[in-house]
Amino acid sequence: MNHTEIKLMSIAGARPNFMKLASIAHAVHTHNASASGQTVSIKHVIVHTGQHYDEKMSHQFFDDLGIPKPDINLEVGSGTHACQTAEIMKRFEPVLLQESPDALLVVGDVNSTIACTLVAAKIDYGLSGRRRPVIIHVEAGLRSFDHGMPEEVNRILTDRISDMLFITEESGLINLQNEGVAPGKIHFSGNVMIDTLCRHLVKAKNSNIKNRLGITGSYGLVTLHRPSNVDSPDALRSLLECLAGISQRLRLIFPVHPRTRGKIQEFGLLPLLDVAPGLQLAEPLGYLDFLHLTSNATLVLTDSGGIQEETTYLNVPCITLRENTERPVTVTVGSNYLIGVEPGRIIETVEKILSGQGKQSRIPELWDGKAGERIVRDILVHGFGLA
């Protein structure tokens, strides 16, 4: 019996990547342990770019999610978009040449995603028969149509130069078709982030985060980190004042992203929070603690992308503090309210939910915990012609 080994390199850089990588790592492990893994095995090499580096933004997720330790860490750290992207590219190129994987898998839309994809698209291994890796983009096709968002630029460019595009929802298929992507490149896999959620829900139930934060009774959960919401003093002040108002009605728990914490300090907005005892700030939380809080929240107020999907799966009302979403299925099928940042509308939506008139979500197609398995199978079959 002939044995074939495919070398797959996966990239993770920032917090929202780790949940997606966890699903892929688990699916690879499951494949290798199965009967078909006897004939075609996958050697999985994990590269962490170091875009996120704080214990609470990075390492804790590897522990919580049981992801194997990265084989390589590029340790790039923070910087402007250009500096961060360029630094990742500079440090990644020699690693890619050295390892020469058969396939490179990137997830999501962060700077690490586009930086590594761009390197891989132009690399030349100098090997006979294989110049570069097959490039695989997981969570492809999402579009906010807002080119002012750095992530939108990253998404469009990454999709353009990837070979296999795995989509999470039907809008991804429509967007890619409209952009002229060959149908054979597009694969509807479902949602790897939901795989990880399904696998950790029971463990998350046992988290004692509510005790640690002194939470009793009902509460809302808040996250904010988008540049459009936190990088201008006026926008951030308006949102914090609105949250302070809501917190008189419903206690709010707000684990603060380092970027947002920095801006609150820089703009001198701390006094606003001192007079709002119902608005409780916390450090960024690990995956299991955050999932515990999301599952039990009365509602969530957020500008995150992934949280719109997690709340949809969990049927928890989500108020998205943005003008657009690249994940429209969370609005059409899920429990997401896309309402922007106007305080009157935010308060009105909170009141609607608190009065029991919130919408019920259904679970989108193929968000069934098996996306990672489908992706691994499709990579072998369609990427390498292997069964």
> Which residues of this chain interact with ligand UD1, rule CB under 6 A?
14-16, 51-54, 57-58, 78, 109-111, 150-151, 225, 257-259, 262
Q: Is 187 a catalytic residue?
A: no
CA-closest candidate to residue 293, choices 197, 349, 219: 219
What the block records as the tokens of 244 is 């302070």
Q: Among residues 132 and 263, whose Cβ is nearest to ligand UD1?
A: 263
Smallest separation (angstroms) from ligand UD1 to the CB of 263: 9
Smallest separation (angstroms) from ligand UD1 to the CB of 161: 17
Q: Among residues 44 and 48, whose Cβ is nearest to ligand UD1?
A: 48
Q: Among residues 85 and 298, whose Cβ is nearest to ligand UD1?
A: 85
Type of residue numbered 97: L
- Rg of the chain taking only CA atoms, in angstroms: 21
Q: Say if residues 159 and 141 touch (Cβ distance below 8 Å).
A: yes
Smallest separation (angstroms) from ligand UD1 to the CB of 191: 16
Q: Among residues 52 and 370, whose Cβ is nearest to ligand UD1?
A: 52
Type of residue numbered 209: I
Q: Which among 137, 200, 225, 257 is annotated as catalytic?
A: 225
Smallest separation (angstroms) from ligand UD1 to the CB of 54: 4
Neighbours of 278 (CB within 10 A): 17
Smallest separation (angstroms) from ligand UD1 to the CB of 357: 30
**Separation of CA 81 from chain center:** 18
Smallest separation (angstroms) from ligand UD1 to the CB of 111: 4
Smallest separation (angstroms) from ligand UD1 to the CB of 300: 15
* DSSP label of 341: S
Q: Which residues are catalytic?
A: 225
